[in-house]
Chains A and B, each alone.
Chain A
Amino acid sequence: MADRDLRVVDLAAERGERRLFEHLDFTLSPGQLLQVSGRNGSGKTSLLRILSGLSRPVEGDVYWGQERIQSVDGGTGSCLGYLGHHNALKEDLSAQENLLIAGRLGGGRPERDAVILLLERLGLGGYEDLPTRFLSQGQKRRVALARLLQQQRPLWILDEPYAALDVQVIEVLRAAIEAHLAARGMIIVTTHQAVPIDGDCHNLHLG
Chain B
Amino acid sequence: MFRTLLALLQRDLTLALRRPQDGLTVVGFFVVVVALFPLGIGPDPEFLRNLAPGVLWVAALLAVMLSLERLFSDDHRDGTLEQMLLVPEPLGLLVLTKTFAHWLITGLPLVLISPLLAVQLNLRADEIMILMLALLLGTPILSLIGAIGAALTLGLRGGGVLIALLILPLYAPPLILGAGAVDAVMHGASAQAHLSLLGALMVFALFATPWATAAAVRIMLD
* A residues whose Cβ falls under 8 Å from a Cβ of B: 52-56, 74-78, 80-82, 84-93, 97, 101-102, 104-107, 109
Cβ of B14 < 8 Å from any Cβ of A? yes
| Complex CA–CA separation, A90 to B76 (angstroms) | 11
Are A105 and B7 in contact (CB-based, < 8 A)? Answer: yes
Are A86 and B18 in contact (CB-based, < 8 A)? Answer: no
| B residues near A53, Cβ cutoff 8 Å | 85-86
Interface of B is mostly: helix
- Of B82, B85, B89, which one neighbours A86 at CB under 8 angstroms? B82
22 sample A-B contacts, Cβ–Cβ < 8 Å, listed by A number: A54-B82, A54-B86, A75-B89, A76-B86, A84-B79, A86-B82, A87-B79, A88-B82, A89-B78, A90-B11, A90-B80, A92-B15, A93-B18, A101-B7, A102-B83, A104-B3, A105-B83, A105-B87, A106-B4, A106-B87, A107-B3, A107-B88
Cβ of B51 < 8 Å from any Cβ of A? no
| Complex CA–CA separation, A52 to B83 (angstroms) | 10
| Complex CA–CA separation, A55 to B48 (angstroms) | 53
Are A86 and B78 in contact (CB-based, < 8 A)? Answer: yes
| Complex CA–CA separation, A200 to B85 (angstroms) | 30
Are B87 and A54 in contact (CB-based, < 8 A)? Answer: no
B side interface size, CB within 8 A: 24
| Complex CA–CA separation, A77 to B8 (angstroms) | 16
| Complex CA–CA separation, A77 to B82 (angstroms) | 11
Looking across the interface, which residue of chain B has its beta carbon closest to that of A140?
B78
Looking across the interface, which residue of chain A has its beta carbon closest to that of B84?
A105
Are A74 and B221 in contact (CB-based, < 8 A)? Answer: no
| Complex CA–CA separation, A76 to B78 (angstroms) | 21
Encode contact with A along B1-36: 1 for CB under 8 Å, 0 otherwise. 001100110110011001100000000000000000
| B residues near A92, Cβ cutoff 8 Å | 15, 18-19
Closest-CB distance, B3 to chain A (whole angstroms): 6
